[in-house]
């Protein structure tokens, strides 16, 4: 007997249970969980196959869990013996389709073989009635188990039994047939979403090639690898751990993590993720994360948590459905007392608002979260989706968000007869052993130009933190650093240029190297697309210097920027816009200094592979790709989701209200009422399911390494407002 149920996490009053390959439907699972003594509520997610249980005791009693385990195992053994093996999650759909065919065939044979209608006593034992009862057994079981706390299945059960007692198996068949179709559509959407999650979960690498201290490759089980170990991954293999590339190079398919369909070229120093596939080459990796800390496992955890965070509109629909079911029973009883007309009573039971509102809302949100997850965008719940659709102001951090966080040389000014090559060679010599990003930009530029870097005298090197470096290069003193560092060394500067790295030789200024952070390719397009989706204000909020912020502002389409803002000032500015200006704010950042602002914003978003752990935990949306266009895609997706839900609710209310009115006055038969109600439900579920096929389509624009955005724009962009620590609280 296999363990179907497993406790994943438990705290006093709350327990999360994993229910593997369960053949029960979600309502039945929830009903059975609630029937266990001590459990006050239970919700089951079809996507993650987890049940969240609230209970009065400090933890689930072992007897209760064992009892549930035995129930599931007994049912599973029957299912397995009949060939029901749900590996992909679609076998339940197939089974339902077969049962629909069975019922239809039975009804057809009955019509062909039986020429007379059955007597009253035989209405429940006709072949078609028995077929409907057998096929609807799950719904009936769940409905009867919740008779004192009515739910949609209770209403459907009452309608089925009443139809059969009335001698109208056709009505019961329509109720069963069309409700099954809507259930199949909902299950299909959930399975598609669950499939996207499974794609991320399937690392499935039982072994790894461990590099020994002697340089040998030893094949070991992955559970024996520890943080700090060195492993090698070859072409065609799946990377088993997160880590940093130490040597060699490879093309790596990271689509399951970042959503980018083109393989990334990784070399020494790059970071790679478990679950990625090496399509070409090989790499040696220093293991940084294992087990639950792997990026892929954290993604799964975030998706699971997202299922528990319902949108306000979803919670409203749940409250609505809980209240409407008893009202439907009350109306049916009242109509029976007044009219004694069973047709009108049946209309009250077969027509309701519950299915359309509840199924379409849950399906739309699930489809959107699942489709986004497939592209490496984690949306933490329906509440986030609903708030995203209302965003009208976007605030960007600069370094690592608007920009790549990787400075590059954009221009070199020359003085006193020196060439660009000479200036760059001397500066690279002085900065050769520095790990500062600006030093790296200078040395990389020199190497890219194939400049011979002259030797310097290490013993004469003097590094003044925050100012610059002085050193003897070929027995001549070279000074590289800021303008103030030049002035400290009594070097005359005749230019008004205030930005850049100054280079002097023998107390004479010979050049200025202009360095800028590279704007992410596609960032301007992202901002313009968001404006088309209703964002009317785009702001850059950075702790960088004013001049640097101004340069980036001139190269992007932002409306306003604030420079030299400390983390607490960023948070204060976000609070100011929310409270004083009544804005709905999305904050986009990636670092520790962005975490307070991300927390205070209505929606916090982290973008790119360099984001910090604290930013991931604080954010509502996590984008693993470096593609900024996914930001505008997320905004568009949220708006489409909310529009779809509103369409569904409106259609459900109009169609079912009209059907109830017609049924109340006896203008339609129960079979017609059932057809109208279930057709409406199928329609709104289809409307929600389309999101996973079309509405969730994400941008395929890819980031490439070229210099389209590296040219410096000397002209100030019109209409940009600038602030320097204007906001203080």
Catalytic residues: 397
Check residue 215 and report its DSSP letter.
S
Q: Are strands 271-272 and 242-253 parallel, antiparallel or unpaired?
A: antiparallel
Distance, in Å, from the CA atom of 283 to the CA atom of 246, rounded to the nearest integer, reads 7
Nearest to residue 557, comparing CAs of 724, 719, 699, 712? 719
Distance, in Å, from the CA atom of 526 to the CA atom of 261, rounded to the nearest integer, reads 19
Tokens of 199: 């794609």
Burial zone of 669 (CB within 10 Å; 0-12 exposed, 13-18 middle, 19+ buried): middle
Helices in 413-456 by DSSP H: which ranges? 420-431, 437-448
Distance, in Å, from the CA atom of 482 to the CA atom of 500, rounded to the nearest integer, reads 7
Distance, in Å, from the CA atom of 729 to the CA atom of 718, rounded to the nearest integer, reads 29
Give CB contacts under 8 A, 24+ apart, made by 150-156.
Answer: 150/325, 150/326, 150/329, 151/27, 151/321, 151/322, 151/325, 152/27, 152/321, 152/325, 152/352, 152/354, 152/355, 152/358, 153/27, 154/325, 155/325, 155/328, 155/329, 155/349, 155/352, 155/354
Quick one: which H or E segment has residue 294? none
Report the b/e string of 555-568 with b at 16+ CB within 10 A: bbbbbbbbbebeee
Contacts of 580 (CB under 8 A, 6+ apart): none
């Amino acid at each position: 007997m296999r363990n179907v149920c497993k406790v994943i996490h438990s705290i006093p009053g709350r327990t999360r249970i994993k229910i593997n390959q369960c053949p029960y439907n979600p309502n039945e699972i929830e009903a059975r969980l609630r029937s266990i003594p001590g459990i006050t509520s239970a919700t089951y997610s079809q996507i993650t196959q987890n049940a969240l249980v609230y209970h009065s005791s400090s933890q689930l009693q072992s007897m209760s869990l064992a009892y549930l385990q035995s129930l599931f195992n007994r049912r599973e053994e029957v299912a397995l013996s009949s060939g029901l093996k749900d590996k992909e999650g679609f076998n339940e759909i197939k089974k339902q389709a077969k049962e629909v065919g069975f019922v239809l065939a039975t009804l057809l044979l009955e019509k062909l073989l039986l020429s007379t209608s059955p007597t009253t006593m035989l209405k429940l034992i006709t072949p078609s009635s028995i077929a409907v009862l057998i096929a609807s057994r799950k719904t009936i079981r769940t409905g009867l188990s919740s008779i004192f706390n009515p739910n949609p299945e209770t209403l459907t059960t009452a309608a089925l039994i009443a139809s059969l007692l009335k001698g109208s198996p056709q009505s019961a068949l329509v109720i069963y047939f069309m409700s099954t179709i809507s259930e199949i559509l909902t299950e299909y959407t959930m399975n598609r979403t669950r499939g996207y999650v499974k794609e991320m979960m399937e690392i499935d690498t039982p072994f790894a090639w461990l590099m020994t201290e002697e340089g040998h490759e030893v094949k070991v089980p992955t559970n024996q690898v520890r943080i700090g170990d060195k492993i090698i991954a070859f072409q065609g293999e799946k990377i088993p751990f997160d880590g940093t590339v130490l040597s060699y190079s490879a093309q790596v398919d990271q689509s399951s993590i970042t959503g980018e369909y083109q393989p990334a070229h990784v070399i020494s120093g790059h970071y790679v993720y478990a679950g990625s596939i090496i399509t070409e080459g090989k790499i040696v990796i220093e293991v940084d994360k294992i087990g639950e800390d792997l990026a892929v496992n954290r993604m799964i955890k975030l998706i699971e948590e997202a299922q528990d965070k319902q949108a306000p509109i979803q919670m409203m629909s749940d409250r609505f459905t809980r209240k409407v079911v008893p009202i439907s029973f009350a109306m049916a009883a009242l109509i029976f007392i007044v009219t004694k007309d069973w047709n009108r009573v049946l209309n009250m039971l077969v027509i309701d608002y519950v299915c359309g509102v509840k199924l379409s809302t849950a399906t739309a949100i699930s489809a959107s979260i699942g489709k986004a997850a497939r592209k490496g965008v984690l949306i933490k719940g329906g509440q986030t989706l609903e708030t995203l659709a209302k965003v009208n102001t976007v605030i960007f951090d600069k370094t690592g968000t608007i920009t790549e966080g990787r400075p590059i040389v954009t221009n070199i000014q020359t003085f006193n007869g020196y060439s660009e090559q000479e200036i760059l060679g001397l500066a690279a010599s002085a900065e050769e052993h520095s790990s500062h990003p600006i030093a790296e930009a200078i040395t990389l530029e020199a190497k890219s130009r194939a400049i011979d870097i002259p030797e310097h005298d290490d013993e004469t090197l003097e590094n003044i933190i925050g100012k610059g470096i002085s050193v003897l290069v070929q027995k001549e003193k070279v000074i590289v650093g800021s303008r103030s560092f030049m002035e400290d060394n009594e070097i005359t500067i005749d230019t008004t240029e205030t930005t850049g790295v100054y280079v002097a030789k023998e107390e004479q200024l010979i050049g200025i190297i202009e360095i800028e952070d590279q704007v992410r390719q596609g960032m301007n397009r992202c901002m313009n697309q968001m404006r088309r989706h209703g964002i009317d204000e785009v702001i850059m909020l950075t702790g960088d210097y004013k001049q640097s912020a101004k340069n980036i502002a001139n190269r992007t389409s932002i409306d306003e920027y604030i420079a030299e803002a400390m983390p607490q000032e960023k948070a204060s500015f976000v609070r100011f816009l929310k409270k004083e200006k009544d804005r709905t704010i999305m904050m986009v950042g990636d670092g520790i200094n962005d975490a307070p602002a991300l927390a205070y914003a209505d929606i916090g978003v982290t973008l790119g592979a360099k984001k910090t752990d604290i930013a991931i935990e604080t954010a509502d949306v996590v984008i693993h790709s470096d593609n900024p266009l996914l930001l505008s895609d997320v905004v568009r997706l949220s708006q489409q989701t909310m529009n779809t839900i509103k369409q569904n609710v409106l259609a459900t209310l109009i169609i079912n209200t009209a059907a109830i009115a017609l049924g109340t006055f006896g203008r339609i038969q129960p079979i017609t009422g059932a057809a109208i109600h279930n057709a409406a439900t199928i329609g709104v579920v289809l409307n929600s399911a389309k999101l996973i096929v079309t509405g969730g389509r994400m941008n395929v624009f890819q980031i490439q390494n070229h210099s389209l955005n590296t040219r410096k724009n000397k002209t100030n962009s019109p209409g940009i407002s600038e602030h320097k620590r204007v906001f203080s609280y």
